[in-house]
Amino acid sequence: MFQTLLMTSLIMLTISIAIALYRVVKGPSLPDRILALDSIGYNIIGIVAVLCIMLDSSSYLETILLIGILAFLSTVALCKFLERGVVIERKRND
Amino acid sequence: MIEIVVVVMVLAGTVLSLISSLGFLRLPDVYTRSHAATKSITLGILFILLSTFLYFMFVHNQVSVRLLLGIIFVFLTAPVTGHLIARSAYRFGVKPAGITDELAADLEREKRKTAESSQA
Amino acid sequence: MTMQILLNLLVAMIWMLLHDKWSMLTFVIGFILGAFIIFSMRRFFPTPFYGRKLWSLAKLVGLFSLELFVSSAVVSWQIIRPRLNIEPGIFKMKTRMRTEWELSMLANLMTLTPGSVVMEIAPDEGIMYVHAMDVPSMKKSILRTRDRFEDAIIEVMR
């Protein structure tokens, strides 16, 4: 019973990733796509956490932190790119 | 006993994140979608991570500090990404769907002021 | 205040060393003991006891999680309602916050509360531009939330 319910929640998380993927492909503007990619990252965090409970092992818990940091940094980089046209700004001496 | 609590919390979090994904389909523009992304998903992931924390605390008797760190990190960064995406979408030129927009005039004035000061 | 917290941590570490037991429970007991010692010696410190600040911080966190629940419920209800009936918009909002810490704290908290995403901040004039999901019905509640958060933040920071 326990495993079945956890499996259900895994399937629901996968469905929500699929919906976000649809938004990535179709999204009318670029910020839409970035937003959908960000939410895919959060859903993957949830999937890893549920997998940790299902497999009954705490070895994957580092992955949660890692994916969270990666999703945040990629979102920040993409937003900076949208706003200014460059990711890393150099200081100009003029 | 603890299994029941864990499963209920995991299912609640999953339903919340599914609802916010539905919001991606239904809501009209980027700004309203970012509402769905920042609020419902944060709460959903928070529920799932907390239930994982409780599971390892009560079943395996281990307090996982990494998981607590992850919870704090998600809590801190979710509003920042929402704010960043809304701001860069506005600067990028995506038109908001509503009628009231008190930002446009002020931003225009600000731009003109910086252009004048850079010319002078 | 920072001095007192460090001293408290030191007392907790010494308690753990004396017991030679490195568990969470020993640390918590040592920390409570240290807080008690510092509280009883509060007359000899130049700054007041940090317990009051800690208490107001706890109140801020409690208020914040309550608002997060409410806002999530509101947004979810608006999404799953069969007919979408919202009128999004952007409006100006004045704040009393001045320093960078207070501003970023308030912006973070406001972004996670009912129907509002902070879009742009003009720190010199103290103005925030807020995107609301449904302007006519939510503007009042957003302003009320802002007042409550501002009071709590001022209590923590000043």
Q: Could you tell me which residues are beta bridge partners of residue C122? A: C127
* More confident: B43 or B107: B43
Which residue of chain B is at minimal alpha-carbon distance from C85? B27
Q: How far is A91 from chain B (nearest CA, A)?
A: 17
B107 inside 8 A of chain A by CB: no
Q: How confident is the model at residue A15 (pLDDT cuts 50, 70, 90)?
A: very high
Of C75, C92, C109, the CB nearest to B40: C75
Q: Say yes or no for a CB contact (<8 Å) between A53 and B10.
A: yes
**Residue corresponding to tokens 């995991």:** B10
Which residue of chain B is at minimal alpha-carbon distance from A11? B14
Q: Say yes or no for a CB contact (<8 Å) between B21 and A19.
A: yes
* % of chain B at pLDDT higher than 90: 6
Which residues, 6 or more positions from C106, have their beta carbon under 8 angstroms from its beta carbon?
C95, C97, C128, C146, C149, C150, C153
Its domain, for residue A69, covers: 2-83
With H, G, I as helix, E, B as strand and everything else as coil, classify residue A94. coil
Structural tokens at position B102: 């008190």
Flag whether pLDDT at A94 surpasses 60.
no
Report DSSP letters for C72-136, one per residue. HHHHHHHHHSSS-----EEEEEE----SHHHHHHHHHHHHTSTTEEEEEEETTTTEEEEEESSHH
Q: Say yes or no for a CB contact (<8 Å) between B92 and A75.
A: no
Q: Would A92 be classed as within a structural domain?
A: no
Average pLDDT over residues C21-43: 84
Of B67, B84, B87, the CB nearest to A61: B67
Chain B contacts of A32, Cβ < 8 Å?
Answer: 30, 33
Flag whether pLDDT at C50 surpasses 80.
no
Q: What is the pLDDT of residue A88?
A: 66
Q: Work out the mean pLDDT of chain B and round it to a whole number.
A: 82
Q: Which of B103, B107, B109 to mutate to test the interface with C (most CBs of C within 10 A)?
A: B103
d(CA A6, CA A46): 12
Of A6, A20, A49, the CB nearest to B7: A6
Laid out side by side, the sheet with C89-94 consists of C89-94, C127-132, C116-122
* CB C108, CB B120: distance < 8 Å: no
> The whole model's pTM is what?
0.82
d(CA A54, CA B2): 14
What end-to-end distance do the CA atoms of chain A give, in Å? 68
Flag whether pLDDT at A86 surpasses 70.
no
Which residue of chain B is at minimal alpha-carbon distance from A68? B74
Which residue of chain B is at minimal alpha-carbon distance from C106? B79
User: Counting beta carbons within 10 angstroms of the beta carbon of residue B14, is it exposed (0 to 12), middle (13 to 18) or buried (19 or more)?
Assistant: buried
Query: What's the domain count of chain A?
Result: 1
What are B6-34's pLDDT values in tens digits? Answer: 899 999 999 988 888 888 888 778 888 88
* CB C60, CB C148: distance < 8 Å: no
Of B3, B60, B77, the CB nearest to A2: B3
Domain regions of chain C by residue span: 2-44, 51-157
Identify which of B78, B83, B80, B89 has the alpha carbon closest to the alpha carbon of residue B41.
B78
Q: How far is A72 from chain B (nearest CA, A)?
A: 7
CA A68 to each of CA B78, B117, C30, C138: distance values in angstroms, whole numbers, following the listed order: 10, 41, 33, 31
Q: How confident is the model at residue C125 (pLDDT cuts 50, 70, 90)?
A: confident
- CB-side neighbour CA atoms (13 Å) of B7: 13
* CB B63, CB B91: distance < 8 Å: no
Q: Say yes or no for a CB contact (<8 Å) between B23 and C75.
A: yes
**Phi, psi of C30, deg, nearest 5:** -60, -40
d(CA C29, CA C35): 10
Which residue of chain B is at minimal alpha-carbon distance from C78? B23
Q: What is the pLDDT of residue A87?
A: 66
Average pLDDT over residues C132-137: 76
Chain B contacts of C108, Cβ < 8 Å?
Answer: 76, 79-80
d(CA B85, CA B35): 11
d(CA C29, CA C26): 5
Which residue of chain B is at minimal alpha-carbon distance from A32? B30
Please, which residues 4-23 of chain B have a Cβ atom closer than 8 Å to chain A? 6-7, 10-11, 13-15, 17-18, 20-22
With H, G, I as helix, E, B as strand and everything else as coil, classify residue A66. helix
- The torsion angle over the Cα atoms of residues B109, B110, B111 and B117, rounded to 10 degrees, is 110
With H, G, I as helix, E, B as strand and everything else as coil, classify residue A27. coil
Flag whether pLDDT at B94 surpasses 70.
yes
- Chains touching C (at least 3 CB pairs under 8 A) are B
Among A3-7, A48-52, C129-133, where is mean pLDDT lowest? C129-133
Q: What is the pLDDT of residue A73?
A: 92
What are A53-80's pLDDT values in tens digits? Answer: 898 888 888 888 899 899 999 999 988 8
d(CA C109, CA C151): 13
d(CA B94, CA B88): 9
Flag whether pLDDT at C51 surpasses 70.
yes
